[in-house]
Amino acid sequence: MVEFSKALTARETPIPGVVLYDLPVHGDNRGWFKENWQREKMLALGLPDFGPVQNNISFNEKAGTTRGIHAEPWDKYISVATGRIFGAWVDLREGPSFGTVFTAEVDPSQAIFIPRGVGNAFQTLEDNTAYTYLVNDHWSADAQGQYTFLNLADETAAIDWPIPLEQAELSDKDKAHPRLADVVPMKPKKVLVLGAEGQLGRALRKTYDGDASVEFAGRAEFDLTDPAAYERNWKNYSAIINAAAYTAVDAAETPEGRRLAWEINVSSVARLARIATSNRLTLVHVSSDYVFDGTRETHPEDEPFSPLGVYGQTKAAGDAIVATVPAHYIVRTSWVIGEGKNFVRTMASLAERGVEPSVVDDQIGRLTFTEDIAAGILHLLASGAEYGVYNLTGDGAPVSWADVARQVFELTGQSAAAVTGVSTEDYFSGKEAAQRPLNSVLPLHKIQAAGFTPADASGRLAGYLGVHPVSTDDSVKRNMGY
């Protein structure tokens, strides 16, 4: 009998992500009606917005028909249309919950959500039983090769079938599936890191070291300017971290640089945004303080764009595109320091060689070390933080580039007095250079509220100079703003 007038509720199960729903069913002398799947109400209860693209119905004429434990490479939402079933679910995903079992009798007043990789099996308890299911990928013969199976009679799962299997109707294939000890767990979807050879890409490699689900792609593996690079099976991915960008601030003002900046920072980002939206991926994109003109004391996440030059304009355009992706994190940072050529290494090299530089003292901000950006990205993805824009820089008091240079000189055993402060206007007088924002301070309240606190920039600087060899290449000093 169908139970009428239940409230819509969600019940967690021992298998992570598997949720059993009670559905309101309304009946009278004519029969009954239910809302089998109501997106808005169920999202409010925590159902993932899984994007179904196909609706299937399975009809079973006789009680005792039993369908094997199949883990599929997509999510499913299952409900009985008529009759009654005994359902058995076994977690066949790689991870600590592998092998966890949940069983329940299900009638038309219930539904269950099954994530990718969780094995599901059904045994009909009444004649003429039919159940319907939504899936978020189109079935194909190729997809069958990605299934994972478990034998219905597996002794470890020890499922107590209401109708003994020797009396049930089974397929020969289901009888031949492996025991749990021989099952190869379904691997998680992958995270793709683009720009893996850059400063942030290298930090992400260290942060995700040992995680086989993270795939790294440098330009050789994924050329952002090549449309063919975007042709892959995106259903196998859960997120894209775009750590690639055109960052040559001054060169972006030239005809060739302008073209490349728009191609990499805007056109390529638009391709990634379309892919993320159509495949329901999370897109992580790294932004810059250069999207602002630097005239305000601080730049919160919701400040309107006001870029001064081509580089900032392309980064602002990229941010606007990424913001249209339903699942996105825009990580806005400034004054980035990592493994490679950068301002700190340049200053350390000058100090070592006894050079006394002039450094701009009217640009204010905080250094951001790539290990903190990488850790912050991991935190946002792993914690499921609310999507949106997050400022992420080093913590501590804002300083000028000249202050940073003086600290570098002191930390390397030289005199801070060797660094002379100069205004941005005077430093760039007579030179072809892009405009810089004078104030790049990004408040950190939002990402701190999300559970991540970046390290103090001064402490990071001391550690950085203690463990990284000094570079003798000072060719990047103008692009770093001094």
Active site (catalytic) residues: 70, 133
User: How far apart, in whole angstroms, are the C-alpha atoms of residue 313 and residue 295?
Assistant: 16
Q: Locate all alpha helices (DSSP H) within 208-309, ordered by sequence.
A: 255-262, 268-278
Q: Which of 47, 130, 146, 118 is nearest to 85 (CA)?
A: 130
Q: Which of 315, 332, 334, 323 is nearest to 390 (CA)?
A: 332
| Dihedral-angle region of residue 210 (phi above 0 means left; psi in -120 to 50 means alpha; beta otherwise) | left
- Give the other-Cβ count within 10 Å of 43's Cβ: 11
| Three-class SS state of 115 | coil
| Dihedral-angle region of residue 291 (phi above 0 means left; psi in -120 to 50 means alpha; beta otherwise) | alpha
CA angle 375-381-384, nearest 5°?
130
Q: Which of 235, 71, 236, 67 is nearest to 147 (CA)?
A: 71
Q: How far is CA 409 from CA 168, 220, 232, 342, 475, in A?
A: 80, 37, 48, 15, 18
Work out the burial of residue 69: count CB atoms within 10 Å of its CB; fewer than 13 is exposed, 13-18 middle, 19 or more buried: buried
281: which residues sit within 8 A by CB, 6+ positions away?
234, 237, 238, 239, 240, 275, 327
Q: For every residue of 287-325, which 3-state class applies, written as one string?
A: EEHHHCCCCCCCCCCCCCCCCCCHHHHHHHHHHHHHCCC
**One-letter amino acid for residue 253 of the chain:** E
Q: Which long-range contacts (CB under 8 A, 24 or more apart) does 219-226 make?
A: 219/244, 221/196, 222/192, 222/194, 224/194, 224/263, 224/264, 224/268, 224/271, 225/263, 225/264, 225/268
| Dihedral-angle region of residue 221 (phi above 0 means left; psi in -120 to 50 means alpha; beta otherwise) | alpha
Q: Strand 399-400 vs strand 364-365: parallel, antiparallel, or unpaired?
A: antiparallel
